[in-house]
Structure 1
Amino acid sequence: MKKQLLLIIVFLVTLSGFSQNTYVFLGSYNRDKSAEAIQIYQLDTLNGKLTKITGAKDIINPSYLTVSPNGKYIYACTDTKTPNAGSVSSFEFNADQKSLTFLNKQSSGGENPVYVSVHKNGKWLVNGNYTEGSVSVHPVLENGKIDSIAQNFKYSEGSIHPERQKSSHVHSTIFSPQFDYLFLPDLGADKIHCYQFNETKKQPLTEAAIPFTKTDLQAGPRHFTFHPNQKYGYCIEEMSGTISVYEYGNGTLKKIQRIKTHKDKYEGFSESSDIHISPDGKFLYASNRGKENNIAVFSIDADGLLKNIGYQSTFGKHPRVFAIDESGKFLIASNVNTGNVIVFRRNQKTGLLKKTGKEIKMQDVSCVQIKQILKIKLL
């Protein structure tokens, strides 16, 4: 029976045509319900050109997006920066029909949701709420809709900054490489919270053996990423403009380096915001917003340590989120205050960036995600 099934699969594959299309998903701070607050483009992976595919209206402030592992569903933090509100919303993306359809939304479990992530099995959604300093876990149904909250944890502890750290501000929800732990950088508390994540349980989060890692005071940990080799983790610290490098293993973080993201001769305040590693694990990129408005480029040594090798202007103001495509050829940055999205080509040998000349405009654009979606068609 297995042999027959294998022969059928081989036959179908032989009669099929394959295409690997790359799509770019943009979110924004947009209170105008008549405007497309979410937009989707197709990326030409030869020249970096972006071609509009579809969009969605009637949404308030979909400030951060994530894409399901199969590319069928888009999840957004919605009603952000809205008093006494906060939600997460689900949309179905049909690449063939070039459509984006609203499915449903649920309470985010706190005010001002700023980050949302999906488990690799596509069955769990986690969002972080900045203003109230909390994290919520939602089951995801078979049809892509978000179910009501299964767990919600709130924090109250702050740190030493008199204005920005009066209380907790969870800024991202990051799964470990094996998706068995969840890390929560907390800008307000100068901590990275940690939970074990058991995907088989109705309430998957339990406190880890080491429930948090303290960062430097007034660092303001914001976003976090893991190296492809799964041995190292990198946390960008918004308030101090630094990156802390950690050795990683079984839910534990051990700091081995702290390095600044801004230029040596830089004078004036600049916040760090987003952080990503190239697919080959050789280079790390970090965005600075405020005075500098650039992407800092670092090489990554075999021991996980960083070395700064350059800076690239984002040709706009306030680069909040950027993304690297799965082939590693392109980096795309979103500039909130100037409402422009810039496509850069990555030199995969040197790690440096060069503007392709391809640019689009979108009011208050705040987030960019990139996803390759495989299509199989019978010939």
Structure 2
Amino acid sequence: MASDSADFKGTIYYLAGDKPITCLTMKKIFAILLALPLLSLAQKTAKTYDLLLGGYTGTNAGKGIAVYRFDTQTGTVNFLNQFEGVDNPDFLAITNDSKFVYSCNVDPKGAEAQVSAFRFDKTSGKLELINKQPAGGINPVHIILDKDGKNVMISHYSSGSLTVLPVNKDGSLGPVSQTIQYTGSGPHRNQKGPHVHSAMLADNGKKLLVADLGTDHINIYNYDSKKQQPIITENATAEMTGPGDGPRHMEFSPDRKFLYVIQELSAFVRVYKYDNGKLAFIQAINMMPADFTKNSAADIHLSPDGNFLYASNRGGANNIVQYAVDKSDGKLTFVDKFDVSKAPRGFTIDPSGNYLLSAGQEGNTINIFKIDKTNGKLALTDNKIDIPQIVCLKWVSVD
């Protein structure tokens, strides 16, 4: 680098031999230097995730569990891998360390289901099957892991039961260790028997909540992962929802003080205050007009900051309804609703809270919406995933 002090007026010359190839004013250099910490911060906050997709296989359906890479800053998505060795992996659960994935697998002929265990490489998105076990019920629609990763619990819609399978140290699954069989019915035509639809842990893994769509009950148990049969049935309690509601999926507020339950058959969202295994009803808010007769509500999620709640409805509505959350009392206020690809059985919000992805099970498209964090409203982007019969979307951090 050379300069003539007599001619120097705040310009630096970078030379290749004796010819300048670039010149930058001192002001531009200072601007770049000031921007470097911001660029570094942007790089640190940029986050990518693996997006695992579960659904149905067969004719006009998917091929297995698909894995995509998702950028939470841009909303772009790229295919990584697909595992095609299991049938109908309709719901997924992932260990806290992201090393293992579990899927419940529906038997297309209505026989006993299976559950599969996989090793997962989040760098490549590759799944490797470890083993399969009989799931102990018919038509599984939900699977979770306990806090310690010692058991999976599967909700069976058609047999109206909840089963537990132990997880071995190598990630494989043992045979069913416990079955909770429910009985009863409800007033709706789809409530001729029990239909367990989801389970959720609370109180640092010491309580278990089970939603039975067929009997309008949320069943509450003590839970101890150290026991061979971890669901403690003694002194169990149950909260009755509205008759014919059909409780389906549940979501806790970030502070765990409030529980939100979507009702498939009535398309209501019910709000409860939660305290140490006890529920106190607060509010029921309708997702659809009173004269709408094709209710088929499906999924429910809160934004990561807890300011907004979203709930999906199928049955001809094919939309996601947005509510504002009053964090002081948990109550919801309607904000807006957004059209999505047909039959939004499952949707998800990325962990950064920047995007909402809605899987149209029958529309065969996953819509990607940008979330305005100030008002929670959704704006459809040009990004999407064209893939058939997806019902479950799960995140794994890559960074």
In the superposition, the TM-score normalised over structure 2's length comes to 0.85
Q: Is contact 2:113–2:139 with CA below 8 Å preserved after alignment?
A: yes
Task: Verify: 1:245 aligned to 2:263, yes or no.
Answer: no
Deviates more, 1:22-31 or 1:108-117: 22-31
- In the aligned structure 2, how far is the partner of 1:352 from the partner of 1:34? 31
CA distance in 2 between partners of 1:367 and 1:129 (Å) = 16
Partner in structure 1 of residue 217 of structure 2: 191
From 270, 274, 286, give the equivalent of 1:260. 286
Native 8 Å contact 1:139 1:150 kept in 2: yes
Q: Letter of the aligned partner of 2:119 in structure 1?
A: E
Q: Distance in 2 between matches of 1:18 and 1:188?
A: 44
Equivalent residues of 1:73, 1:92 under 8 A apart: yes
Once residues 34 and 294 of structure 1 are traced to their aligned partners in structure 2, the CA distance between those partners, rounded to angstroms, is: 22
CA deviation vs aligned residue, 1:124-157 (integer Å, no higher than 9, x gap): 2111100010001111112211111121111121
* Map of 1:344 onto structure 2: 369
Deviations 1:151-197 (A, max 9, x none): 11111211122x31111000001111521111111111111111111
Give the CA deviation at 1:270. 2.5
Partner of residue 325, structure 2: 300
Q: 1:313 to 1:216 in 2, by over 3 A?
A: same
Structural mapping, 1:36-115, within 5 Å: 36-115=63-142
Could you tell me how far 1:35 is from its partner in structure 2? 5.8
- 1:211 maps to which residue? 237
Q: Is the 1:269–1:291 contact (alpha carbons within 8 Å) kept by the matching residues of 2?
A: yes
Name 1:201's counterpart in structure 2. 227
Partner amino acid for 2:309? L
Give percent identity, aligned residues only.
Answer: 32
Residue 197 of structure 2 aligns to a residue whose secondary structure is coil
Question: For residue 48 of structure 2, what is the aligned residue in structure 1?
Answer: 21
Deviates more, 1:59-68 or 1:109-118: 59-68
Greater displacement, 286-295 / 202-211: 202-211
The residue matched to 1:173 in structure 2 has which SS?
strand
After TM superposition, give the deviation of residue 88 of structure 1 in Å.
Answer: 1.3
Q: Which has the higher contact order (CA 8 A, sep 6+)?
A: 1
Gap regions ≥5 residues in structure 2: 1-43
Output the TM-score relative to the length of structure 1: 0.89
CA RMSD of aligned residues (A): 2.0
- Select which of 144, 155, 162 maps to 1:135: 162
Gaps of 5+ in 1: 1-16, 375-379
Amino acid at match of 1:256: I
Residue 19 of structure 1, CA deviation: 8.8
Aligned to 1:330: 355
Matched length? 355
Q: Match of 1:127, SS?
A: strand
| Partner SS, residue 170 of structure 2 | coil
Cα offset, 1:40, TM superposition: 0.5
- 1:33 and 1:148 mapped to 2: Cα distance? 32
Conserved? CA contact 2:62–2:387, under 8 Å: no
**Is 1:370 aligned with 2:386?**
no
Q: 1:237-270 CA deviation, whole Å, 9 max, x = no partner? A: 00000011000011111111000112x4864413
Residue 235 (1) aligns with residue 245 (2):
no
> In the aligned structure 2, how far is the partner of 1:107 from the partner of 1:50?
34
Aligned: 1:269 with 2:281: no
C-alpha displacement at 1:25, in angstroms? Answer: 0.8
**Cα distance between partner residues in 2 of 1:183 and 1:38:** 27
Q: Is this contact kept in 2: 1:283–1:351, CA < 8 A? A: yes
* Structure 2 match to 1:223: 249
- Against the structure 1 CA distance between its residues 88 and 300, is the aligned structure 2 distance closer, same or farther, given a 3 Å change threshold? same
Cα distance in 1 between the residues matched to 2:47 and 2:365: 26
Match of residue 5 from structure 1: none
Task: Find the aligned partners of 2:98 and 2:310 in 1 and give their Cα distance.
Answer: 24
Q: Is the 8 A contact 1:322 1:369 kept in 2?
A: no
Find the aligned partners of 1:257 and 1:339 in 2 and give their Cα distance. Answer: 34
Q: Secondary structure at the match of 1:194?
A: strand
Distance 1:177 1:351, change over 3 A: farther
Q: 1:142 to 1:313 in 2, by over 3 A?
A: same
Specify whether residues 109 and 164 from structure 1 end up closer, same or farther in structure 2 by C-alpha distance, changes over 3 A only. Answer: same
Per the alignment, residue 386 of structure 2 pairs with 361
User: Which has the higher Rg, Structure 1 or Structure 2?
Assistant: 2
Equivalence for 2:30: none
Shift of the alpha carbon at 1:69?
A: 1.2
Distance in 2 (CA, whole Å) between partners of 1:106 and 1:76 is 11
